[in-house]
Structure formats: structure tokens, C-alpha cells
Structure 1
């Protein structure tokens, strides 16, 4: 029997910490080996009560201690982890897909080093069907995201445009255009749209809208795909994380599912 895969988690916030606790509880074939956070002291404090506390290291050192690296970082820290992970030939599970889109040179480098990049599904569903549909001829691919104003109030685009969402009484469209531009304007808020575009026809051929909606209490995503082979409509309503309302509670669960897929003798979906 092969040894367990050593997992390293970079970022212990609304995504990384639930995954770390899940691994510490015991998952066949996987072992939480190492973590990193904004500070070594913080990471130790968050994991010292674990049954098997992981090693705590600086961000850039983490890939040297893990077979599988989980990226759950602020956007500006992405490359500090991703580059050494790919250079080490690790499997990198990415949550910050807007940053992956801005650093696609890492995909080419992974071909050379033997590394692997897995884009976590995150807060949407149906990407297996989208991947299949992408083998047919596209008519249109549209995604609309609606979030409670509090989930978008901290977005860089909202702050820089001086948009006050606190007194919003009706839905407000903050953005309509391609996924490429949306990823630049909302680097921490539109990972779901990037996931859809990478699974399908690319960010330039995927239309996207972002709405602040005071009438909802969940982050919702509606997807419409039409090709010459299928019409696909997907609707998702996520419960926001209590730690970070911009993150759905399903997001860390999608990382857990991706990890299980690495070691399971049976996987379902293409």
C-alpha cells in the first residue's frame, strides 16, 4: 500500500482552516503535513489543538514539504506559493482562479516540471457537463452572479469607484462584460466565473454579470450554456461563510472533494 499523500495548506481562513480540520480528523490516503498563514505564530495558534499538529513553515517553503499544495490565499500572495509549488513538481489545488488566469505561464511550466494544477470547483456546479459541452459548437455562454451587498462591499472595484452599497434598496448591476475583464476588476470575487470559462470556451468567450442585490441573503450564480448539442441551465445559491461573506460555505467542501478524488479508487464525473 502506498504512503499517504502529504498535503500542505497555504492560508488558514474561511477555506483553508475547514480543510485543515477535515484532514486532521482523518482521511484515508491523505495526511495534513504542513501549513502556512500570514504569520507562523498565527498558524501555530490555529493548529496547536489538532490531533496531529502539522509543521508550520514560511509560505515559500511549504511546497518542499508536501505532495499536494492547497492555495487559499489573498490574491497578492498567489505567485509566492504557486511558482515554488510548480517548480517542485507538486500538485497545486488552486482556489484563487482569477490569479491563475493572470498567471497562465504556470501551466506551461508545469508541463516541464511534472507539476499539476487543479482548479477547485468552488461555489458552482456542473463543470463536468460544461467540459463535455465544450466539445460541441458554442452558441452562448452566460453567467450571472448576484450577491448580498455585504459580500461585495469590500471588492476593490467597488471601493475604487466609491460605490456605497450600504443603503441599496434594489439590485444594482456592477459589471457586465467578459470574464477576462471581470477577473481584473474583482480579483477576489469572481473565481466562479473563471472556473466556468476555463472548463468551457475561455474567458473571452464567456459573458458575465455581477449584481449587488439587497433582496437576497445568499451568493447566487445562474449559468446558461447553449451549444449545438445541449442547452444547460444551472442555478446555485450558496450560504455565505460566517468568516468571510464573499466566500460560500461550499467552497472548502469543493477542495475536500478534489483531494478525495486524488486518492479514491472510484471517481464519478468526467
Structure 2
């Protein structure tokens, strides 16, 4: 059995994911949904067996799963429409779910179509343990993220410190997961994943650091509950063409697809 997949977006994650899928006999990227302005450039990068489309209406009825790889704006523009058509939707841009209006829109679409939303863990491990406890068994959750200064370029970190001359770690943010997800939409999707698995956006504490000593993106989650405590750290290199994105994000996305295609997966 081959599972047909549609990707939303064709940036660094989707391009890396497509390479992985092309050598997998159980998976096929049948369509890629992009904005009209990116249609020609996307088609030039892929083979003719994968169709580039520019609207949700153009998704083939036999698509088994749609995976969003394109950022917060794409999820807001296409997510509800994909679900309304009955396609299960995997989400990498979990930070967009800090927007209550978007969550309500997605919930309304799933209620009508019975399609499901799957939040892909992305660049962090341990989410299964955190979500197993859920908010009722937790008293505190703190996420700490460290990335090289270049990874924070073009974000609010630019006004906190001089990223080009940094010689020691600089805390560029401290606050709630909701504030972090909205302030750092291209960097902090993992923050939202932690929040959704645990105490929620407003009760999850976040600290973000620009650290010239790190060579890999590092994510640490410390959680305490009545009968449990977690302290786990995930470290991963970045994708070659995008220093903001962990290579583990693409690997996690590939695992999400394999879970749909393989009869026995872990």
C-alpha cells in the first residue's frame, strides 16, 4: 500500500522531506500546495510525478494525508479549508495555535468533516511523556531554548543584543508560551508543542537564549507534577539551507508520514 500525501509549502523542510519520501516505497508526495507566485519556481525543482497546485479545491480526492510545512500564515490560510474537505491535517507550525480564533476555526471544520488534526512534535523529544501526564498532573512546565545568534536574526532578539558580536549567552526572551509563539513565529514552534502537550500557552514558562557557544539547536523541558518530574534535553543540527530550522523537524515530519503508511510503526 502506498499512502498519497500532499504538502503545504515547499521551503527547506518540505524539500528535505521530499528527498526522504522519494526513496520510500510506501509513501508518495502526490501534490504540493503553494501560493500562485511560487508555482513555477516550485515545479522547476521537482519531477513531473508531483503536481504543484495553488488552491485547496485542487487537492485530489484520493489524498490520504496533508502535511503543513509552510509557516503560520499558510496554516491560517489553508488549514480550515483542508479539514473541511475531510483530509486529516498534520501541523508543523504549532505556534499558530496560540491564536484562539484560528483554533476555533479549525475545531469548527473538524466537527463538520470528522477530519483530524495531528500536531507533529518537530524538533523536540519527550512530548509523548508530557502529554501522557496532561495538565491535571502537572504543576509547572518550563521550556528553555538555545540557538546560535545567527538563528535569531530577523527576530525581536535584534533589539535585545548585538547578535553579530555576541561572546556569551544572552537571554533574548522570558515569558509565557503564548507570548513566545507570537513573538518568534519562525523559531518557537517547539514552544507551542510543549504548551499543547502540557499546561497550555498561558501557564508554560519560556526562556530563549542566543548562545555563541552552541553548535546545535538545544531544547530543554523541565516539568514537575504531583507524582512525576521530567528534565529532558534535545539537541539537533539545522537544515543546510535554513539555520532557523532543526534537521530533527524534517525527520519528525517523515516519521508522521510513516505512521500513516506502515502497518507496524514506533
Residue 46 of structure 1 aligns to a residue whose secondary structure is coil
Unaligned ranges ≥5, structure 2: none
For 1:1-270, what aligned pairs fall within 5 Å after superposition?
4-28=2-26, 30-38=27-35, 39-48=38-47, 53-61=49-57, 63-64=59-60, 66-102=63-99, 103-105=102-104, 106-134=106-134, 136-155=136-155, 157-159=156-158, 161=159, 163-268=161-266
CA-to-aligned-CA distance 1:201-260 (integer Å, 9 cap, x gap) = 211111111111111111101111111121111111110111110101111110110111
- For residues 204 and 162 of structure 1, do their structure 2 counterparts lie closer, same or farther at Cα, with a shift above 3 Å needed? closer
Per-residue deviation, 1:64: 4.4
State how far apart, in whole Å, the 2-side matches of 1:67 and 1:211 are.
39
Secondary structure of the corresponding residue to residue 56 of structure 1? strand
Q: Is the 8 A contact 1:121 1:254 kept in 2?
A: yes
TM-score between the two structures when normalised by the length of structure 2: 0.91
Change (3 A) 1:178 1:63: farther
> Contact 2:53–2:59 at 8 Å: present in 1 too?
no
1:246 partner SS: strand
- Give the whole-Å Cα distance in 1 for the aligned partners of 2:254 and 2:141: 28
Q: 1:173-219 deviations in whole A, cap 9, x for unaligned? A: 11111101111111111111110111112111111111111111111
3-state SS of 1:187 partner? coil
| 173-182 or 58-67, which deviates more | 58-67
Q: C-alpha offsets along residues 150-193 of structure 1, whole Å, 9 cap, x if unaligned?
A: 001122x235x475311111111111111011111111111111
CA deviations on 1:19-73 (whole Å, 9 max, x unpaired) are: 2222222332x3211013351111111112xxx6211111444544533111111
Q: CA deviation at 1:139?
A: 2.2
> How many residues are aligned here?
260
In the alignment, the residues of structure 2 paired with residue 267 and residue 189 of structure 1 have an alpha-carbon distance, to the nearest angstrom, of 29
Structure 2 residue matching 1:247: 3-state secondary structure: strand
Between the aligned partners of 1:218 and 1:209, the Cα distance in structure 2 is: 17
Q: 17-26 or 173-182: which moved more?
A: 17-26
Ranges in structure 1 where 5+ consecutive residues have no aligned partner:
none
Q: 1:27 to 1:201 in 2, by over 3 A?
A: farther
Q: 1:80 to 1:60 in 2, by over 3 A?
A: farther
> Is this contact kept in 2: 1:220–1:238, CA < 8 A?
yes
